[in-house]
C-alpha cells in the first residue's frame, strides 16, 4: 500500500457555507470582547443572523452540486445542502427566539409576587457556542470520511453540553448538563470504537471507499465477519444516543428540562439533525451493502422509540419534559425513514427524502412549540401544564400558534406535520414495512392525548389572572413566522421534497455502482 | 371550472367566509355576530337551492399539489345538496336561536357576553367544514374537511369550560379523531391500489363486479367504520351522550343535523364501493340494528331531556345505517329522505329542550310537565316535530318510515319485524319526551315559575315544525332531492325514482305503520311494567359497555405511562448501565447471528518476548479493577493514570512507539488536570461525596453488566484476531522509506516526517491543554 495522498489544493469554494459560519463565530468571539456594552447585544444578534442567512444563501447556490474536496473528506452534495439548510433554519430560529431571553435573563416569580432575574445569560458566549454547534452539525452533513464525521458530531455536542448548563444557578440545568455530558462522552466513545472497527475491517476512513470495499467482499451476503457486525452495532448505539432513540434516550428528559428553553429548542433540532446526517452518511453511504442488517435494527428501534416516547409523554405534567418525550417519539418517526431504505436504493426510493422532509417539518413545529414556552417561561411562570391555563383569552394569537404547533406535531392535516408523517408512511409501505406504518398511525393517535391536553388547557381553563407582558417584537415575529410555515409549508411541499430527493438521485456512491 | 359565478364555488366561498364575517362583525359589536353569520348561512342555503335547481351538478376544480396528483374538486351533486341544505338551513336557524340563547347561557355561567363571538365562529366554521366535506370529491380534501368538523366540534363541545364538558370534548375528538385515522388509512389503501385520490375515478376503476379482494374490502370497511363512529353508532356511540354537556344549540346542530349526519354522509359517499360487498352491507345492517335497539332502549330510561334526545339520535341514525345496509333503491333513497326528515325534526326537539330548560330552569323530565297550556306555541311546534319523528301521517316523517318499511319488505321477514320494533321504540321514547314535557304532570312538583321565552327561542322551532308538516302535505320536492342523492350514492346510470304518496289501502307498509303505532301506544301506557327491565339493560351497558372499555383503556394507558415514568432512570450509574446493557444485548445477538463457530477461536503461542507486554497487560487489568474499588478521589486519579500508562507500555511493546508517546503525553495531561480539578473543588464537596453511603443494591447489577460487556468485547476481539489480517501493516512501508526521508531512526522519521502534520496537531492540542492547566495554576488557588 503506497501513500497515494492527493496533495492538490482543496477546492474551498465548495466549503463556502461552512466557512462563513466558522468565520462568523470567530468574529462573534472578538465582537463579544470588544464591542461596547450599549451596542453589544444588537451587534452580536446582527452578526449571527447575517452569518447564518449568508451561509444559507451560499448553500442555495450549491444546490445540484455533487462534488468532494479535501481528498474526499468534505462533500458538497444534495444531502449537505438540504441538511445544512435545516440546521441554518434552526439556528436563525434559535437566535430569534432567544433574543429576549438573553436580554432579560430567566425570570422567576418571587414570593412577593414580583418577577426577578434568576439567571442572566451572557449573550456573547451563547451566540459563540450556538455558532460552533451549528458549524459542527454542518460538518457532519458534509462529512466524507469518518474523522470529519466524528469531529463534527463532537464539536456540535460539546457546545451543546455547555449551553445546557447556561442557567447555572438553577440546579436542574447543571444536573441536566452533567448527565448529558457524561453520557454523551460515553456514547461518543462507543461511536468512536465502532468507527475503529469499521476502519479495521475495511482499511479506509473514506465513506465511499468503505462502501466499495464492502461491496467487493461477500460481507453483504454471508455476513460472517463479527468485527464488521460489532462495528455496525456500536455505531447504532452511538448514533442512537445522539438522536435520542429508545433505549439510549435517558439523558433527554433531564437535559431538555434543565436547559434554558431556547437552548432546548436548539438542541432538540440541531444535534438531532446532525445525528441523522451522520446516520445517513454512515449507514446509507458507507455501509450500504449491509443495509439488510441495519434496516432491521433501525426498524425495531423505531418501533420501540415511537411507542415508548408517546406513552411516557402522557404521564408528564411538565410541558418541557412532555415535549422531550414527544421529541423522542418524533425521532422514532424519523427513524422509520431510515428503516424504510431498500437495499440498492433506486432513485424512486422515497425513504431518505421522507426522512429529510420530516426533519425539516420537525424543525419548524418543534422550535415553534419551544418558542411559546420561552415566552411563557420568561414571563416568570414555570413550565407546567397549568401555566397554559386560559392562554387563549389572555394571548389569543400565541394560543393559536401553539395550537398549530401541537396539531402539527400530532399530524393533523393540512399542517406540515401531517405531510411529514404522510411521506414517511408512504416510504414505509413502499418498503413492505406495513407494521411500522400502522405503528406510526397508532402512535400518532396516542400522542393526541398529550398534545390536545395543552390545547384544552389553553382554551377551556380560566386564566389565573397573572399579568402577561407582551412578547418582544423579535420573539412574536419568530413565533408568527414559524406558525405560518407550519400552516402553509405543507401545501407547498412538492418543491421541498424534490430538493430532498436530489440527494438520492445524485448519489454516486462507489459502493453502489460497484455492487450492482 | 367554468366561472366563479356558479353555485359550487360560490357556496364554498360564502360558507368559508361566514365564520370570518361573524367574527369580524362580533369584533365591532358582539350582537352583530349572529345577524351577519346567520345572514351568510341563509345566503349559502339559497345558493344550495340554486345549485339543486340546475340540471347538471355544478363543479369547481383547482389544482392543489400537482406533483402529488392532488386537486381540489368540489361537486354540488345530489348527495351534496341534501347535506348542504341541512347544514346551511339548520345552521341559519340555530344561529338565530343562539343569538338569544347563548347570551342568556353566558349570563347564567357568569361569563363575558363577548364570548358569544367565538361560539358563533366555531358554529359557522362547522357549517363551512360540512359544506366543504359534502362537496369534496378528492379523498384527501374530504379527509381534511372531515378533520375540520372534528376540530370545530371540539371547541363547541368544550365551550362551557367545566370539567365535564372538557372531558366530553376530549372523548368526542379522541373517538372521532382516532376513527378519522381509519378513514385516512382506508383512503391510502385505495390510492395504493388505484393510484388516484379522486373518488369518482376510484369508483369507476372498481366497476360493478364486486370489490376485488380482501384488501379493498378492508379499506372500505375502515372508511365506513370512521363514518359510523362519527354517526355515534354502536360501539362508538358513547361520545354522543357525553357531548350533551355542550350548550343546547350545539347539541341541536351538531348532534342532529350536522356532525352525526356527516357520518352517514360518508357512508353515502362511499356507498358505490360498499354496495359491492355483501359482507359490508351485512355489517351495516348489524351495526344499524344494534344502534337502533340500544339507543331506543336506553332513551326510554333517561330522565335528562337532552340525554333522551341524544340516545334517540343514536337510535335514529341506526335506522339510516340499517337503510343503507338493506340497500336497493328504497333503502338508499329512504336513507337520504330519512336524514332530512330526522334532521329537521330532531333539531326542533333539541331546541325545544333548550327552551324548556331555559323557561323551567330544570332539565329533568320528571321535574317539568303540563307546559302545553302555558307555552302553547312551543307545544304545537314541537308536536309537529315529534309527529315527524314518530312518522304520523301528514308529516314528512310518515314517508321516511314508509320507505323504511318498503326496504324491509324487499329484504325479508326478519327485517320487517325489526323495522316495526324500531318504529315502535321511536314512538315510545318520543311520546314519552313530548307528553312528559307538555301534558303529564310533573312527578316532583316544580315548574311553578316560568321564565318568559323570547321569540327567538320559539320561532326557529315553529319554522322547523311547519316544514315537517308542509313536507308531509307536499312530499314531492324532498322526495326529488332524496332520489337525486340516491342516484349519486348508488352511482346509478338511470335516475332513481322512488315515489312517496298516501295510499289508503292495506299494503304492507301501511299495516306495518299501524302496528308500530299500536305497539308504541302500548309501550307508553305500560311504562311501569317494562321500565325495570330496560333500566337493568341500561345499567348492563354502564357496567360492561364500550364506554367502560374506553375508560378502562385510558386508565390503563395512564397507569402504564406512570409506571414507565417511575422507571425513568435517575442516577448516573444506572444510566451508564442503560446504555451498556442494550449495547451488550445487541452485540450478543450479533455474535449469535454472525455464526461465531465459523471462525475458530485460535489460541496463539506465547514466546519469551511476549512476557513484558503480558506483564503490562496484567498491570492494566489490575489497575482497572482497582479503579472500581478506590474510595478516595486522589487514589482514583492515580489508579486511572496507572491504567493509561500501562496501556501506553503495551503500545510501546507492540511496535507502535509513536502511539505510545502520544498516550503518555495525554495521560500526563489528564492526570494533572484531574488532580488540579480535585484540588480546586471545595473541600466539603469531596467530603460529602466520600461519605455517601455505598449503593449496595446496584453493585451486583453493575458488576454483572460490566463483566458481561467485557466478556462480549473479549469474544468479538478474539474471534476477529483469529482471522487472518486483511491488510499488510503500514510499518514495513515506513521502515522501507525511512532512508529516503534522510533519517536514521524510524520513530523520529514517523513523527517528524511521515506523520509530521499529525504530530503538529497533537502538539497543538497538548499545548492548548497545558495553557488550560496554566490558567488553573495562575488563578492562584492551586498553591
Q: Which of A312, A444, A498 sits opposite B565 (nearest CB)?
A: A312
pLDDT at B31: 82
pLDDT at A508: 42
Beta-bridge mates of residue A116: A108
Q: Which residue of B has its CA nearest to A445?
A: B178
Judge whether A137 lies within some domain.
yes
Helices B91-108 and B33-53 pack at an angle, to 10 degrees, of 160
Chain A CB contacts of B181 below 8 Å:
441, 444-445
CA distance B432 to B419: 20
Are the beta carbons of A314 and B558 separated by less than 8 Å? yes
Record: contact A230-B720, CB cut-off 8 A: yes
Mutate to test the interface with B, among A290, A315, A464 (most CBs of B within 10 A): A315
Q: Which of B158, B169, B558 sits opposite A315 (nearest CB)?
A: B558
Nearest-neighbour CA in chain B from A46: distance (Å) = 31
Task: Evaluate if residue A132 carries a pLDDT over 90.
Answer: yes
CA distance A426 to chain B (A): 9
Q: Please name the residues in contact with A69: beta carbons below 8 A apart, sequence gap of 6 or more.
A: A10, A11, A12, A14, A15, A76
Which is it for strands A115-119 and A106-109: parallel, antiparallel or unpaired?
antiparallel
The whole-number average pLDDT for the span B383-407 is 86
Residue among B147, B174, B564 whose CB faces A311 most closely: B564
Q: Name the most confidently modeled range: A72-76, A328-332, B199-203, B691-695.
A: A328-332
Contact B561 A412 (CB under 8 A): no
> Nearest Cα to B336, choosing from B188, B478, B201?
B478
- CA of B664 vs chain A CAs: smallest distance (Å): 19
Maximum mean pLDDT: which of A27-31, A109-113, B191-195, B710-714: A27-31
Cβ–Cβ gap A315/B147 under 8 Å: no
* Residue B165 pLDDT: 85
Q: Complex ipTM, two decimals?
A: 0.72
Closest partner residue to A226 among B169, B582, B720, by Cβ?
B720
**Residue A111 confidence (pLDDT):** 60
Please check whether residue A6 lies inside any domain of the structure: no
**Between A429, A460, A498, which is nearest B192 by CB?**
A429
Residue B258 vs residue B310, higher pLDDT? B310
Residue B590 is nearest to which of A201, A230, A316, comparing CB atoms? A230
Report the percentage of chain A scoring pLDDT > 70: 88
**Using 50, 70 and 90 to split pLDDT, how confident is the model at A195?**
very high
Interchain CB distance below 8 Å, A425 and B66:
no
Q: How many CB pairs under 8 A join A and B?
A: 152
Pick the residue of B164, B563, B726, B733 with the most A CBs within 10 A to test the interface with A by mutation: B726
Distances (CA, A) of B443 to A244, B368, B449, B542, B599: 64, 8, 16, 25, 90
Q: Do B599 and A230 touch (CB under 8 A)?
A: no
Q: What pairs with residue A343 in β-bridges? A: none
CA distance A200 to chain B (A): 9
Give the total number of structural domains in chain A: 1
pLDDT 10s digits, B590-606:
767 665 555 556 677 77
Dist. CA B337–CA B324, nearest whole Å = 12
SS3 (DSSP) at B681: coil
Q: How far apart are CA B720 and CA B736, in angstroms?
A: 28
Name the pairing type of β-strands A74-76 and B70-76.
unpaired
Output the pLDDT for position A513: 39
CB-based burial of residue B461 (10 Å sphere; 0-12 exposed, 13-18 middle, 19+ buried)?
buried
A440, part of any domain: yes
Query: Which residue of chain A has the CA closest to B573?
Result: A183
Contact B477, B485 (CB under 8 A): no
Nearest alpha carbon to residue A492 among A361, A365, A400? A361
Question: Cβ B719–A226 below 8 Å, yes or no?
Answer: yes
Residue with cell 487472518: B724
Residue A117 pLDDT > 70: no
Chain B residue numbers with beta carbons less than 8 Å from the beta carbon of A444 are 181
Which of A127-136, B334-343, B397-406, B532-541 is predicted most confidently?
Answer: A127-136
Q: Do B561 and A414 touch (CB under 8 A)?
A: no
Q: Which residues form the domain of A467?
A: 12-515
pLDDT band at residue B70, thresholds of 50, 70 and 90?
A: low
State pTM to two decimals. 0.81
pLDDT beyond 70 at B257: yes
Residue B66 has what pLDDT? 57
Domain membership flag for residue A1: no
The tens digit of pLDDT for each residue in B5-41 reads: 788 888 888 888 889 898 888 888 888 888 888 898 9
Query: What's the Cα-to-Cα distance from B219 to each of B189, B224, B235, B337, rounded to whole Å?
Result: 6, 9, 19, 27
- If contacts are CB pairs under 8 Å, which of residues 149-168 in chain B contact chain A? 151, 154-155, 158, 161, 165-166
Alpha-carbon distance B259 to B147, whole Å? 11
**pLDDT tens digits, residue range B213-229?**
777 888 899 899 999 98
Which residues in chain A touch residue B144, judged by CB atoms under 8 angstroms apart? 413-414
B473-497: pLDDT as tens digits: 888 888 888 888 888 888 777 777 7
Averaged pLDDT, A252-278: 90
Q: How do the domains of chain B map onto residue ranges?
A: 279-524, 728-783
Rounded CA gap, B659 and B638, in Å?
Answer: 21
Asked whether the beta carbons of residue B733 and residue A2 sit closer than 8 angstroms, the reply is yes
B215-246 in b/e form (b: 16+ CB < 10 A) is ebbebbbbbbbbbbbbbbbbbbbbbbbbbbbb
pLDDT at A129: 94
CB contact under 8 A, A226 and B140: no
Does residue B567 sit at the A interface (CB-CB below 8 Å)? no
User: Is B27 in CB contact (< 8 Å) with chain A?
Assistant: no
Are residues B572 and A179, on separate chains, in Cβ contact within 8 Å? yes
Chain A residues in contact with B591 (beta carbon < 8 A): 226, 229
**Which among B139, B193, B245, B590 is the top mutation candidate for probing chain A, defined by the most A β-carbons within 10 Å of its own β-carbon?**
B590
pLDDT of residue B147: 85
Tens of pLDDT, residue by residue over A48-97, are: 999 999 999 998 888 777 788 887 888 888 888 889 999 999 999 999 98
Higher local confidence (pLDDT), B196 or B87 = B87
Give the nearest chain B residue to A407 (CA atoms): B151
Question: Could you tell me if B562 lies within 8 Å of chain A, comparing CB atoms?
Answer: yes
B579 neighbourhood in chain A, CB within 8 Å: 183, 186-187, 190, 237, 241, 248, 250
Give dist(CA B50, CA B11) in Å, integer.
10
Q: Which cell numbers in the block locate residue B666?
A: 495525554
User: In this complex, is the C-beta atom of B596 within 8 Å of any C-beta atom belonging to chain A?
Assistant: yes
Q: Give the per-residue pLDDT at A509.
A: 42
Q: What pLDDT is stored for residue B672 in this prediction? A: 84
Amino acid at each position: 500500500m503506497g501513500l497515494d495522498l492527493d496533495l492538490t489544493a482543496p477546492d474551498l469554494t465548495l466549503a463556502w457555507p461552512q466557512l462563513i459560519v466558522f468565520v462568523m463565530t470567530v468574529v462573534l468571539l472578538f465582537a463579544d470582547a470588544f464591542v461596547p456594552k450599549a451596542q453589544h447585544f444588537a451587534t452580536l444578534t446582527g452578526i449571527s443572523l447575517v452569518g447564518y442567512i449568508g451561509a444559507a444563501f451560499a448553500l442555495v447556490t450549491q444546490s445540484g452540486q455533487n462534488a468532494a474536496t479535501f481528498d474526499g473528506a468534505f462533500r458538497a452534495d444534495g444531502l449537505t445542502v438540504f441538511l445544512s439548510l435545516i440546521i441554518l433554519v434552526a439556528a436563525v430560529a434559535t437566535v430569534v427566539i432567544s433574543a429576549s431571553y438573553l436580554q432579560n435573563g430567566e425570570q422567576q416569580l418571587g414570593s412577593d409576587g414580583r418577577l426577578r432575574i434568576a439567571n442572566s445569560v451572557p449573550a456573547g458566549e451563547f451566540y459563540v457556542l450556538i455558532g460552533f454547534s451549528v458549524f459542527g452539525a454542518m460538518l457532519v452533513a458534509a462529512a466524507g470520511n469518518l474523522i470529519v464525521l466524528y469531529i463534527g458530531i463532537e464539536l456540535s455536542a460539546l457546545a451543546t453540553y455547555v449551553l445546557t448548563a447556561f442557567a447555572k444557578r438553577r440546579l436542574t440545568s447543571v444536573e441536566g448538563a452533567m448527565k448529558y455530558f457524561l453520557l454523551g462522552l460515553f456514547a461518543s466513545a462507543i461511536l468512536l470504537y465502532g468507527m475503529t472497527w469499521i476502519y479495521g475491517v475495511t482499511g479506509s476512513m473514506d465513506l465511499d471507499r468503505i462502501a466499495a470495499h464492502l461491496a467487493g467482499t461477500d460481507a453483504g451476503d454471508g455476513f460472517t465477519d463479527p468485527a464488521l457486525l460489532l462495528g455496525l452495532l456500536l455505531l447504532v448505539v452511538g448514533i442512537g444516543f445522539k438522536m435520542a432513540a429508545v433505549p439510549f434516550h435517558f439523558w433527554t428528559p433531564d437535559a431538555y428540562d434543565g436547559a434554558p428553553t431556547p437552548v432546548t429548542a436548539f438542541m432538540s433540532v440541531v444535534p438531532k439533525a446532525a445525528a441523522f446526517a451522520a446516520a445517513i452518511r454512515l449507514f446509507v453511504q458507507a455501509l450500504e451493502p449491509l443495509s439488510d442488517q441495519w434496516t432491521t435494527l433501525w426498524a425495531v428501534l423505531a418501533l420501540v422509540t415511537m411507542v415508548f416516547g408517546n406513552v411516557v409523554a402522557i404521564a408528564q405534567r411538565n410541558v418541557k419534559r412532555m415535549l422531550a418525550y414527544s421529541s423522542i417519539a418524533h425521532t422514532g418517526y424519523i427513524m422509520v425513514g431510515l428503516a424504510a431504505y431498500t437495499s440498492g436504493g433506486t432513485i424512486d426510493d422515497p425513504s431518505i427524502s421522507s426522512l429529510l422532509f420530516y426533519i425539516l417539518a420537525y424543525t419548524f413545529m418543534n422550535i415553534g412549540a419551544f418558542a411559546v414556552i420561552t415566552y411563557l417561561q420568561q414571563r416568570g411562570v414555570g413550565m407546567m401544564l397549568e401555566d397554559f391555563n386560559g392562554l387563549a383569552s389572555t394571548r389569543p394569537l400565541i394560543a393559536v400558534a401553539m395550537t398549530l404547533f401541537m396539531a402539527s406535531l400530532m399530524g393533523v392535516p393540512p399542517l406540515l406535520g401531517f405531510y411529514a408523517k404522510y411521506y414517511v408512511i408512504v416510504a414505509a409501505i413502499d418498503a413492505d414495512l406495513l407494521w411500522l406504518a400502522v405503528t406510526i398511525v397508532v402512535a400518532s393517535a396516542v400522542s393526541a392525548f398529550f398534545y390536545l391536553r395543552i390545547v384544552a388547557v389553553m382554551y377551556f381553563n380560566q386564566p389565573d389572572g397573572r399579568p402577561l407582558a407582551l412578547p418582544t417584537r423579535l420573539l412574536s415575529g419568530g413565533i408568527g413566522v414559524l406558525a405560518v410555515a407550519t400552516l402553509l409549508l405543507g401545501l407547498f411541499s412538492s418543491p421541498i421534497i424534490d430538493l430532498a430527493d436530489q440527494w438520492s438521485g445524485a448519489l454516486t456512491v462507489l459502493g453502489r455502482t460497484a455492487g450492482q | 371550472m367554468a366561472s366563479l359565478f356558479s353555485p359550487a364555488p360560490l357556496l364554498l366561498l360564502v360558507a368559508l367566509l361566514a365564520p370570518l364575517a361573524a367574527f369580524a362583525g362580533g369584533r365591532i359589536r358582539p350582537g352583530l355576530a349572529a345577524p351577519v353569520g346567520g345572514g351568510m348561512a341563509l345566503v349559502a342555503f339559497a345558493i344550495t337551492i340554486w345549485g339543486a335547481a340546475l340540471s347538471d351538478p355544478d363543479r369547481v376544480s383547482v389544482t392543489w399539489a400537482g406533483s402529488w396528483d392532488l386537486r381540489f374538486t368540489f361537486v354540488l351533486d345530489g348527495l351534496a345538496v341534501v347535506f348542504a341544505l341541512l347544514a346551511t338551513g339548520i345552521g341559519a336557524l340555530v344561529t338565530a336561536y343562539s343569538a338569544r340563547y347563548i347570551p342568556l347561557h353566558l349570563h347564567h355561567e357568569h361569563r363575558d357576553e363577548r364570548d358569544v363571538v367565538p361560539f358563533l365562529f366555531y358554529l359557522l366554521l362547522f357549517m363551512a367544514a360540512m359544506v366543504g366535506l359534502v362537496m369534496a370529491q378528492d379523498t384527501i380534501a374530504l379527509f381534511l374537511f372531515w378533520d375540520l368538523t372534528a376540530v370545530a366540534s371540539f371547541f363547541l363541545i368544550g365551550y362551557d369550560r367545566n370539567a365535564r364538558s372538557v372531558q366530553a370534548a376530549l372523548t368526542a375528538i379522541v373517538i372521532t379523531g382516532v376513527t378519522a385515522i381509519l378513514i385516512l388509512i382506508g383512503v391510502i389503501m385505495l390510492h395504493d391500489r388505484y393510484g388516484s385520490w379522486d373518488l369518482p375515478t376510484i369508483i369507476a376503476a372498481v366497476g360493478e363486479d364486486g370489490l376485488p379482494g380482501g384488501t379493498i374490502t378492508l379499506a372500505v370497511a375502515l372508511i365506513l367504520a370512521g363514518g359510523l363512529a362519527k354517526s355515534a353508532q354502536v360501539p362508538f356511540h358513547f361520545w354522543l351522550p357525553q357531548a350533551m354537556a355542550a350548550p343546547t344549540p350545539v347539541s341541536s346542530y351538531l348532534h342532529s343535523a350536522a356532525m352525526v349526519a356527516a357520518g352517514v354522509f360518508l357512508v353515502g359517499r362511499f356507498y358505490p364501493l360498499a354496495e359491492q360487498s355483501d359482507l359490508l352491507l351485512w355489517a351495516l345492517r348489524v351495526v344499524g340494528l344494534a344502534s337502533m335497539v340500544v339507543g331506543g332502549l336506553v332513551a326510554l330510561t333517561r330522565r335528562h331531556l337532552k340525554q333522551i334526545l341524544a340516545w334517540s339520535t343514536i337510535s335514529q341514525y341506526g335506522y339510516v345505517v340499517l337503510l343503507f345496509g338493506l340497500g336497493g333503491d328504497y333503502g338508499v333513497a329512504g336513507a337520504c329522505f330519512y336524514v332530512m326528515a330526522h334532521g329537521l325534526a330532531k333539531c326542533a326537539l333539541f331546541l325545544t329542550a333548550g327552551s324548556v330548560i331555559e323557561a323551567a330552569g330544570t332539565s329533568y323530565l320528571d321535574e317539568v310537565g303540563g307546559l302545553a297550556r302555558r307555552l302553547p306555541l312551543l307545544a304545537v311546534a314541537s308536536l309537529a316535530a315529534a309527529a315527524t319523528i314518530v312518522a304520523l301521517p301528514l308529516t314528512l316523517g310518515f314517508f321516511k318510515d314508509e320507505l323504511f318499511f318498503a326496504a324491509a319488505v324487499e329484504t325479508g321477514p326478519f327485517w320487517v319485524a325489526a323495522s316495526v320494533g324500531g318504529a315502535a321504540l321511536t314512538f315510545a321514547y318520543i311520546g314519552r319526551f313530548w307528553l312528559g314535557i307538555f301534558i303529564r304532570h310533573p312527578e316532583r312538583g316544580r315548574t311553578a315559575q316560568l321564565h318568559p321565552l323570547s321569540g327567538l327561542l320559539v320561532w326557529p322551532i315553529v319554522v322547523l315544525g311547519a316544514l315537517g308538516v308542509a313536507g308531509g302535505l307536499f312530499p314531492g320536492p324532498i322526495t326529488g332531492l332524496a332520489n337525486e342523492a340516491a342516484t349519486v350514492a348508488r352511482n346509478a346510470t338511470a335516475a332513481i325514482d322512488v315515489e312517496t304518496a298516501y295510499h289508503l289501502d292495506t299494503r304492507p307498509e301501511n299495516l306495518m305503520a299501524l302496528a308500530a303505532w299500536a305497539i308504541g301506544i302500548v309501550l307508553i301506557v305500560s311504562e311501569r311494567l317494562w321500565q325495570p327491565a330496560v333500566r337493568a339493560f341500561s345499567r348492563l351497558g354502564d357496567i360492561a359497555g364500550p364506554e367502560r372499555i374506553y375508560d378502562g383503556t385510558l386508565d390503563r394507558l395512564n397507569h402504564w405511562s406512570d409506571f414507565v415514568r417511575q422507571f425513568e432512570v435517575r442516577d448516573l450509574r444506572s444510566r451508564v448501565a442503560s446504555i451498556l446493557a442494550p449495547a451488550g444485548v445487541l452485540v450478543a445477538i450479533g455474535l449469535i447471528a454472525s455464526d461465531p463457530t465459523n471462525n475458530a477461536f485460535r489460541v496463539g503461542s506465547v514466546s519469551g518476548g511476549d512476557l513484558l507486554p503480558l506483564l503490562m497487560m496484567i498491570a492494566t487489568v489490575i489497575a482497572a479493577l482497582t479503579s472500581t474499588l478506590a474510595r478516595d478521589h486522589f487514589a482514583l486519579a492515580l489508579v486511572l493514570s496507572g491504567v493509561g500508562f500501562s496501556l501506553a507500555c503495551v503500545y510501546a511493546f507492540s511496535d507502535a512507539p509513536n502511539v505510545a508517546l502520544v498516550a503518555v503525553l495525554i495521560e500526563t495531561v489528564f492526570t494533572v488536570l484531574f488532580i488540579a480539578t480535585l484540588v480546586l473543588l471545595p473541600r466539603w464537596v469531596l467530603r460529602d461525596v466520600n461519605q455517601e453511603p455505598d449503593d449496595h443494591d446496584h453493585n451486583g447489577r453493575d458488576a454483572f453488566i460490566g463483566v458481561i460487556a467485557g466478556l462480549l468485547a473479549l469474544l468479538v476481539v478474539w474471534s476477529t484476531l483469529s482471522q487472518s489480517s486483511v491488510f499488510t501493516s503500514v510499518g514495513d512501508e515506513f521502515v522501507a522509506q525511512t532512508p529516503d526521508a534522510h533519517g536514521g531512526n524510524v520513530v523520529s522519521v514517523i513523527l517528524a516526517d511521515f506523520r509530521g502534520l499529525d504530530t503538529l496537531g497533537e502538539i497543538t492540542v497538548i499545548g492548548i491543554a497545558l495553557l488550560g492547566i496554566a490558567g488553573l495554576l495562575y488563578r492562584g488557588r492551586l498553591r
